[in-house]
Amino acid sequence: METKTIDSIRYAKFHKDFESVSKELLIFNNKLNTIGFIESNMLPIIREDSLLIVPFNLNKKFNSVTIHYNDSIIPRKVIDLVSNKTSNTYFTIPIEDTEKALSTINLKLAELGDPFSTLQLSEITINENSEIEGTLISSEKLRDRRIDKIIIKGYEKFPKSYLKYYLKIKEGNVFNLTKIKKQIQNLNELPFASQIKDPEILFTKDSTTLYIFLDKVKSNNFDGFIGFGSNEETNKIEFSGYLNLELNNNLNYGESFRLVYKSDENEQKTFQVNLNLPYLFGSPIGTELELHLLKKDSSFSTASQNAKIFYQLNPKNKVFAGIRSVQSNNLLDSLYSNPTIKDYSTLFFTASYQYKSRQKENILFNVNRLFDIQLETGNRTYENTSTKQYQVLLDAFNIFNLNLKNSIYIRVNGFGLFSDNYFDNELGWFGGINSIRGFEENSLAATLFGVLNTEYRYVFNNSIYVHTIIDFAYLENKLIDQKEKLYSFGFGFGLITKAGLLKFNFANGKSENQSFKFSNSQVHLSLTAFF
């Protein structure tokens, strides 16, 4: 039985000299102690020519060890991590787990702010019940280590509010290196900063200084596209397009500014400005301000002003609350009046939630998951008549990465306006490259719509990919009692150029009762430049 136990322990059988044999015997004896043969002893070595035979008496095997501890030095909650047989003064563990348990306790004590304490077993005895007992002692407990100073290297102007509220690292926190490394990984969710290397710590007798190494990332971008297609009535090619300018963290405050201008074939013009200011006055609260102007040919114009406050729950989750004011005017004169276009004003109270997850290392698709929903309730005023209204906006997508080259993209985009009656100049407009492709930009109006975008993507390398286009939409327009299903099919590609990310989409759209016509195809080009 003893021979079988010895043979089950791995050891080197061939050695170049006696010194190597002595080292191997020491290692082997330690292995025996680790698995419970602490009373084993080595008998005299037997020499047979170049062969050395080393007999061992294993004696009794001990299966567990009971360890006494002082809970004023080592908290009970730490002991509970390594043993399920614990009390306020001792705990019992399998003897082969002793080294692992001591390492775990040491690590947890370091995380609790005592990185320099060391543990060892003392007063090891075999009691009257033939069980091993010992006492766990620690080097003299130093004061809890706390972060006294934080120094950022590389990007010294990194906004300090992001340290405190986004990364949740601040002076006075209990020093916990494992937790700090985990918190700094949240930088992957920030578009304007990245980690250069792991943090470093300078310990002195009276202070702990944390060094964080960051780099500022260029995250400004300019996005634009040109769309063109055939006009069914004139058989002429018509062009549309838009520009989207986004500036991020140029003042080293974490702020963002976005400007969008869009003009399409339907003589519809859109102008939008958005300003996001996080962590106002060093508080955890931020604000978002938005102005949205819409002019539909010479029919009407609508101005929407939106003011929100938000709270960042964690790097991926954010909640908003605010108000939105809408003012719309009929531009038609009395000779060409439209009975469904009215002058009105609406005041909405809004609440929204956003989840966003990034894959920063992916240049082509750096956001891999989004869920953004906004709920609004308010009253529309028209000729001294007030009408209760509700509105829902949804935008969500996910990239399912099958492997390094293949992925599936699914996006859901929706809008719903719920009211006792409707005006033409308060409907939701959709269609185009950022909605259902294969249709003219903002050519579709509805009181309720939902769009499903799907793509199968194949990535050739880090700078080029191709994809399919299969889109589906459903719309309702209660103003004209319309219900319709829309479809579009096509293909596209994306290419990283010196100027930025170039996207090409070719799609053909049709309604449920239409047949496909090649002349209905739409080509969309967009270019996103980063600077």
Q: Domain end: 110, 138, 166, which one? A: 138
328 and 226 within one domain: yes
- The CATH number of residue 96's host domain is 3.10.20.310
143 lies in some domain: no
User: What single-letter DSSP state applies at residue 334?
Assistant: G
C-alpha distances out from residue 521 to 100, 196, 309, 492, Å: 66, 47, 42, 13
437 and 334 within one domain: yes
> What per-residue confidence (pLDDT) applies to 306?
97
Six-digit token string for 208: 């702990």
SS (H, E, C) 467-527: EEEEEEEEEEECCCCEEEEEEEEEEEEEEECCCCEEEEEEEEEEECCCCCCHHHEEEEEEE
252 and 205 within one domain: no
> What per-residue confidence (pLDDT) applies to 233?
61
> What per-residue confidence (pLDDT) applies to 230?
60
91 lies in some domain: yes
211 and 111 within one domain: no
- The CATH number of residue 272's host domain is 2.40.160.50
Query: How many whole angstroms separate alpha carbon 458 and alpha carbon 465?
Result: 6
- CB of 86 within 8 A of CB of 79? yes
48 and 27 within one domain: yes
Query: How many whole angstroms separate alpha carbon 151 and alpha carbon 143?
Result: 22
Query: How many whole angstroms separate alpha carbon 321 and alpha carbon 291?
Result: 16
Q: Is the dihedral of CA 112, 118, 120, 123 positive or negative?
A: negative
Q: Domain end: 188, 216, 244, which one? A: 216
> What per-residue confidence (pLDDT) applies to 451?
98
CA angle at 290 for the pair 298 and 239, rounded to the nearest 5°: 40
159 and 43 within one domain: no
- The CATH number of residue 168's host domain is 3.10.20
Residue for token pair 């290196």: 177
276 lies in some domain: yes
> What per-residue confidence (pLDDT) applies to 332?
84
Query: How many whole angstroms separate alpha carbon 487 and alpha carbon 509?
Result: 6
Q: Which residues pair with 270 in a beta bridge?
A: 262, 294
> What per-residue confidence (pLDDT) applies to 80?
84
> What per-residue confidence (pLDDT) applies to 297?
82
> What per-residue confidence (pLDDT) applies to 153?
95
C-alpha distances out from residue 115 to 99, 146, 208, Å: 18, 11, 11
Q: Domain end: 57, 72, 89, which one? A: 57
369 lies in some domain: yes
Task: Identify the domain containing residue 21 by its residue range.
Answer: 2-57
- CB of 155 within 8 A of CB of 216? yes
187 and 52 within one domain: no
476 and 451 within one domain: yes
494 lies in some domain: yes
> What per-residue confidence (pLDDT) applies to 235?
65
Can you count the helices (H) and strands (E) in the chain?
6, 30
176 and 49 within one domain: no
C-beta neighbour count of 267 within 10 angstroms: 11
Task: Render the burial of 49-75: b for 16+ CB within 10 Å, e for the rest.
Answer: eeeeeeebebeeebebbbbbbeeebbe
430 and 499 within one domain: yes
235 and 368 within one domain: yes
- CB of 142 within 8 A of CB of 207? no
Residue for token pair 């966003």: 356
- pTM as predicted: 0.76
Domain count for the chain: 4
> What per-residue confidence (pLDDT) applies to 174?
83
- Averaged in consecutive runs of 10 residues, what is the pLDDT profile of the chain (531 residues)? 67 76 77 73 76 76 82 80 85 83 79 68 74 75 75 94 92 84 88 91 84 92 70 62 88 94 77 95 94 90 96 95 96 74 96 94 89 98 94 97 95 97 94 88 92 97 95 96 95 91 92 80 84 83
Give the phi and the psi of residue 106 in degrees, each rounded to 5.
Answer: -60, -45
102 and 24 within one domain: no
